[in-house]
Structure 1
Amino acid sequence: MYTTTNEEGILNNYATEPKLYYAEYPSPEQQSRYLFQGAVAALFVTFTLLIALGVS
């Protein structure tokens, strides 16, 4: 943590900044996994909505 003091004696703390890095484009395996996860999520939401409609 980086701390400075002004002329009145007030402390000012600065957080340390993390090292930056660029994201990498997902591999074809990751893309297919994301597609599968999206399909499962869509089915889950649809199923939940159908149950809510059926109960009401």
Structure 2
Amino acid sequence: MPYTTEEDGRLNNFAKEPKVYGAEPPDKNQQRNYIILGVAGFLLVAGLVYVAASV
């Protein structure tokens, strides 16, 4: 554990930092799934708005 000592003699304990890695762009299959989920979400919200307006 990385401890540091402050001026007053108190110890400070810092958390371990996670490893950093670069994000990879989605492949064609993931992009298709994102589009399908986006359209399904839009239709769900549009349907809920329609039901709320008709009531």
Q: TM-score per shorter chain, which class?
A: 0.7 to 0.9
Tell whether 2:30 aligns with 1:30.
yes
1:16 is matched with 16
**4+ residue runs over 4 A deviation:** none
TM-score using structure 1 length: 0.83
Unaligned runs of 5+ in 1: none
> What fraction of aligned residue pairs are identical, expressed as a percent?
44
CA RMSD, aligned part only? 1.3
Quote the Cα distance in structure 2 between the aligned partners of 1:28 and 1:12: 47
Give aligned pairs, total. 55
1:54 is matched with 54
TM-score using structure 2 length: 0.84
